[in-house]
Amino acid sequence: SAVISQKPSRDICQRGTSLTIQCQVDSQVTMMFWYRQQPGQSLTLIATANQGSEATYESGFVIDKFPISRPNLTFSTLTVSNMSPEDSSIYLCSVEDKAEDATEAFFGQGTRLTVV
């Protein structure tokens, strides 16, 4: 199964600043996904990151607020721009992994962001 590394694991940021979260996978994957998990809530899909094209954003999320890069098949970044306390969440990246007899979708360990 794919191993996903996220950096940073946590951060405390001032409102109005931006934070870039990195996601590194140990194998080449076509699709990478970014999710947000607000305190006490379930996961919400932010966008799908394709290599070589612009990310596809879900309803309620826009590129200006959450710009995404996908420079190659093993790496992606999510930037949380102009942060406010409402952006305090756990941000997770995910990849799908298709083996011969199984299909799985894995998550990184997440980035716990607190905006003050």
Partner 1 sequence: GQNIDQPTEMTATEGAIVQINCTYQTSGFNGLFWYQQHAGEAPTFLSYNVLDGLEEKGRFSSFLSRSKGYSYLLLKELQMKDSASYLCAVSRGSTLGRLYFGRGTQLTVWP
Sites of contact with partner 1 (CB under 8 A): 31, 33, 35, 41-45, 48, 92, 94-96, 98, 102-110
By beta-carbon proximity to partner 1, the closer residue of 102 and 116 is 102
- Say if residues 36 and 14 touch (Cβ distance below 8 Å): no
Q: How far is the CB of 33 from partner 1 (least distance, A)?
A: 6
Q: Any idea which residue has 């959450």 for tokens?
A: 66
By beta-carbon proximity to partner 1, the closer residue of 10 and 15 is 10
Q: How far is the CB of 38 from partner 1 (least distance, A)?
A: 12
Alpha carbon distance 111, 16 (integer Å): 18
Q: How far is the CB of 82 from partner 1 (least distance, A)?
A: 26
Q: How far is the CB of 116 from partner 1 (least distance, A)?
A: 20
Residue 14, class by beta-carbon neighbours within 10 Å (0-12 exposed, 13-18 middle, 19+ buried)?
A: exposed
By beta-carbon proximity to partner 1, the closer residue of 14 and 100 is 100
